Amino acid sequence: MDKVDFWLTSGWHLLEKDPNGKLIPTKDFMKAYFSRPEVEIVEESCEAEKKINKKLLADPFTLISENELNQIIDDDVKFNYQMILNFRDFLSKSNNLEDAYLKFCRGEKINFPPLFLDQLVQNILRNILDVEPIALQVRAAEIFFRSQVVSLAEDEIMLADEEMVNFQAKNLQDEKNTDKEQNVDIDILRESSADNYWSRSDRFDTSIDVAFTKPSLDGLARVIEKWIFHFLMIKVSVSPLQKIEDERWSWHIGMDIDSSQILNDLYNGKDIPENILRQILCLFKLESEEGFVKEMQNKPVYLALSMNKDSIVRFKPQNLLTNLPLVDYS
Say what the pTM is.
0.95
pLDDT level of residue 180 (50, 70, 90 thresholds): confident
Maximum pairwise Cα distance, the chain: 69
Cα dihedral across residues 214, 149, 268, 287: positive or negative:
positive
Distance of CA 200 to the CA centre of its chain: 18
Task: Choose among 87, 195, 97, 67: nearest CA to 139.
Answer: 195
User: What are 216's strand-pairing partners?
Assistant: none
Round to whole Å and give the CA distance between 4 and 15.
18
Instruction: Give percent above pLDDT 70 in the chain.
Output: 98
Task: With beta carbons less than 8 A apart as the criterion, state whether 233 and 203 touch.
Answer: no
Q: How many residues does the chain have?
A: 330
The predicted pLDDT at position 170 comes to: 84
Phi, psi dihedrals of residue 50, rounded to the nearest 5°: -65, -40
Give residue-wise pLDDT tens across range 97-140.
999 999 999 999 999 999 999 999 999 999 999 999 999 999 99
pLDDT level of residue 329 (50, 70, 90 thresholds): low
Give residue-wise pLDDT tens across range 208-221.
999 999 999 999 99
The predicted pLDDT at position 281 comes to: 98
Q: Is the pLDDT of residue 177 over 70?
A: yes
- Find the helix or strand (DSSP H, E) in which 312 lies: strand 312-313
**What DSSP designation does 16 have?**
E
Task: With beta carbons less than 8 A apart as the criterion, state whether 54 and 47 touch.
Answer: no
SS3 at position 127: helix
User: What are 312's strand-pairing partners?
Assistant: 149
Task: With beta carbons less than 8 A apart as the criterion, state whether 12 and 121 touch.
Answer: no
User: What are 238's strand-pairing partners?
Assistant: 286
pLDDT level of residue 42 (50, 70, 90 thresholds): very high
SS3 at position 247: coil
Task: Choose among 276, 119, 136, 147: nearest CA to 217.
Answer: 136
